[in-house]
Chains A and B, each alone.
Chain A
């Protein structure tokens, strides 16, 4: 501790603090234009000058270490005099303008120093760069403090902008001094959030922010903290602030969390309950809507399935499964994880006994080697990709395994471009190298695993020569990857994978071959190591935890008598004792009559299911469909009742992110019109159905609110037992397992033991490469995935104007050699046809894809969606559809 006086007031600071920290602690009005409160001082602006007794000159407070006994003055005439001149000269860099909003901090400070107008005319005029969709760079309001360049380079590790030129011609600009839109900028807005003068500012009329509310991003599984800003007009401002205290995101956001929450205000939000009469939607009150829904669902008890939402909260999901199990007496409850990571989860459950990511994001930064398989993190998990980039800057080896040239390849030490569908051959061969060269962790294998010898035997055929032939990857690259992964230059290795591994008919084999690799190398259960299936949706982890899966009860409890009894005691009704149907089976069941009614909450399966024409037919057969959502989407078109739900910003609850961190979601705004939180709607529906079927559910669906629902879920889920809304409010997000209220949460799993005791090696076989291979009629392989600028099918992001500007149309990535043969250039219109459907889009000629392969994101733009083409052939074990590979043909359109 150091004690000093500032302006006559005593202040005590921790060692290492600066004089500026003391000034701010006392709340003194000292300008500090170039100091981002969350970053190291830059010392560039010289507006924080103070006087210190016994020191020469006027030092900058932001840079000055606080020392015991210092006597500091911010009001000393000499300090004020020099500071006024600095402010005057700084102000002279700017040109006032109505929209420039007084230059924020600078304007206020200058006025306070009696310099409302600069005494000299500005020297240089630079143009405004308004090429980006969400924000602009107005160089006449720029004081060259450099905060934006730090945000872009050091924080986000993008390096799009820097300070170009020298002396009075210096300016903020991009590589080659062109437009920002033509640079590598990803629109994350980190620079906009830190700019002190509004030179970088959102493209919306300046509005007064009446309050900010900390909450969690509704998009991807990274789970970044956002500070939602509410304008005086009661709307979300275009730009959200980041949350530096959030342990998962550390003050970072990507374009979606920063700028894309405006969908809550979309004009076509449904704000009144709807019932379909004579094929038309009719607005009704809640009672009528809920009664109609309850009538229909009660009629079809026994042929019912529920689809919960990985976008909704844990509390919402918990109630949907409770409704299904308690009232509808079925385990036919599922959510979209089936469509992304079920092979990972199934494989991890079989091998280790838990399906969650074993490490934390911080482990990526501490690892000596990262191997990223089938994941385009820069697009899909942008803030995790920043962690990867930081690791690389720190000297870690990055191995990217992907048939497609994803952006991460730019930073990779080694890019392994295997032929699609040959992953098992690749990873088994790596395992053989590890064993043959004695790089495995013998102690770990002996002490912590089973099945080693049988598995080792199964690797016999997977020589480097075989793998090279099957995968097309040079043997020396395979061997190099194996060596780096097993024995990184320092710390441990993290294995990270995405949909490229799982969305295949051999998804579960792929997952096992990866898990075996981590076991033989002993690369899990300690800092800087681990296994991470990157989760797509914001709450896909929590949705599974809450029991929205047919295979397990909440907390992954099994259907065994003791657990069933435990749940019966809590719920008053015994849940059914057999596993239920997964979503793809429920949809198939529509055609056979096994499914006659469905309750679909916050999902749009008619955009996300494979082979959409087929799925559409199936949903068309349903006798009764209740959809609960924000918008009338493709699935809602087939519904009989539509229940308007509150969006993420209009309700309380929790999301659980990819590193098992349970985080609060808070009410920022009231729901529009009559929209209601999902948990309320589900509870009302449950009570009404129960009444109709004569089931006495007592007070089982009477909750005071989401906190009470969470408490019930935590009581039934040992790994959440130590958590409550109150605790999360106090301490911020906490990582499960957290079994008791005084447990700090868990950074990494498997340090001592696995949930199933010892982990098991499960041999994986290279089977046929894909269910549908290209042939003469359909010569191209179609690969699907997501985009940075759209979320999933685009139901939300198509309603955000700035994102549509960044990615307005469906682009089909095609290799130059194929483009030449077809005679197309970038921008040409193309039709893609598979055995199941077709779509049109625009060619983007790029070497990112292999010759013979094309890539189409599965967002729906202008009525074209990739899933009209994809194959519903599924991995027999986990039942995930094969989105990643299907055969198509291409035609040039005029």
Chain B
């Protein structure tokens, strides 16, 4: 899945980069969407990808690295087919996120930041996702899963292929 390949955008992708950069008074405004494009194109944003993107923005690679390490939605390692992100912030914490996270870890047999051996799931622990009214919660790929209980977690994880 992650065989080495040359890190270059296609001409179409490059045109899209230019378009996005043109939307902002300072082209660096387009860094986040372009990093997402890069993540889609190259599966994850390796250091090599970060350097490549830095070049497109005339930025120092360390500044791109700063952005990549700040946001949890950029992956520096190959990620699993699914990403499970358990909220650990205050509301969820008070509603039992610690137990939920422990349960997820145990079910998947991995720690936070790790991916299951079969490449199925990557686990993250993240800050508040603005669904405090339904705490504890987690995000599974593009979906929010709310009011979690261990049983509900089992069902959700069981459905991931």
Stretch of A161-169, A344-352, A566-574 on the interface side: A161-169
Give the docked Cα–Cα distance between A183 and B60 (Å).
Answer: 11
Contact indicator per residue, chain A 157-196, by CB within 8 Å of chain B (1) or not (0): 0111111111100000011110000011000000000000
A161→B62 CA distance, assembly (Å): 6
Chain B residues with Cβ below 8 Å from A167 are 127
Give which listed residue, A153, A161, A165, A184, contacts B69 with CB less than 8 A: A165
Given contacts A175-B47, A176-B47, contact A162 B127 (CB under 8 A): no
**B-chain residues with CB within 8 Å of residue A153 when the two chains form the complex:** 60, 62-63
| Closest chain A residue, CB of each to CB of B61 | A175
List B contacts of A393 (CB < 8 A): 58
A162 in contact with B62 (CB, 8 Å): yes
Chain B residues contacting A184 (CB-CB under 8 Å) are 60, 62
In the complex, A478→B60 CA distance in Å?
Answer: 28
CB distance from A595 to the nearest CB of B (A): 53
How far is B60's CA from A153's CA once the two chains are assembled, in angstroms?
8
With CB as the reference atom, state the residue of chain A lying closest to B127. Answer: A167
Interface size class of B (residues with CB under 8 A): 10 to 19
Contact yes or no, B69 A160, CB < 8 A:
no
Is A159 in contact with B63, judged by CB distance below 8 angstroms? yes
Is B60's CB under 8 angstroms from A160's CB?
yes
In the complex, which residues of chain A have a beta carbon less than 8 angstroms from the beta carbon of B62? 153, 159-162, 174-175, 183-184
B75 to chain A, nearest CB (A): 15
Query: In the docked arrangement, what's the CA distance between A640 and B85, Å?
Result: 79
- In the bound complex, do residue B47 and residue A163 qualify as a contact, i.e. CB atoms below 8 Å apart? no
Q: Say yes or no: is B65 at the interface (Cβ < 8 Å to chain A).
A: yes
Contact string against A for B residues 26-47, beta-carbon threshold 8 Å, 1 for contact and 0 otherwise? 0000000000000000000001
Number of A-B contacts (CB under 8 A): 47
Residue of B nearest to A166 (CB): B70
Q: Which of A75-97 contact B (CB under 8 A)?
A: none
B156 interface residue per 8 A CB criterion: no
| Cβ contact within 8 Å between A175 and B58 | no
A residues less than 8 Å from B69 (CB atoms): 164-166, 177
Q: Convert A865-886 into 0s and 1s, putting 1 for each residue whose CB lies closer than 8 angstroms to a CB of B.
A: 0000000000000000000000
B35 to A: closest C-beta gap in Å: 15
State A393–B28 Cα separation when bound (angstroms).
12
Residue in B58, B59, B65 whose CB lies within 8 Å of A164: B65
Residues of the B chain whose Cβ atoms lie less than 8 Å from the Cβ of A161: 62
**Which chain A residues lie closer than 8 Å to B60 at the CB level?**
153, 158-160, 162, 175, 184
Contact status A165-B70, CB under 8 Å: yes
B159 an interface residue at 8 Å Cβ cutoff?
A: no
Shortest Cβ distance from residue B156 to the other chain A in the assembled complex, whole angstroms? 26
B66 interface residue (CB < 8 Å to A): yes
Contacts of A176 in B (CB 8 A): 47, 65
Chain A residues within 8 Å of B47, by CB? 175-176
Question: Smallest CB–CB gap between A796 and chain B, Å?
Answer: 31
In the assembled complex, which residues on chain A have CB atoms less than 8 Å from the CB atom of B127? 166-167
Given contacts A167-B127, A176-B47, contact A162 B58 (CB under 8 A): no
Distance in Å: Cβ of B64 to nearest Cβ of chain A: 8
A165-B65 Cα distance, complex, nearest whole Å: 9
Residue of A with least CB distance to B51 = A175
Please determine whether B65 and A163 come into contact, CB atoms closer than 8 angstroms: no
The contact sample of 15 A-B pairs, CB cut-off 8 A, is: A153-B62, A153-B63, A158-B60, A159-B59, A162-B62, A162-B63, A164-B65, A166-B70, A166-B127, A174-B62, A175-B50, A175-B62, A175-B65, A177-B69, A184-B60
Given contacts A165-B69, A175-B60, A176-B65, 10 further A-B contacts (CB under 8 A): A153-B62, A159-B62, A162-B60, A163-B66, A175-B51, A175-B61, A177-B65, A183-B62, A184-B62, A393-B58
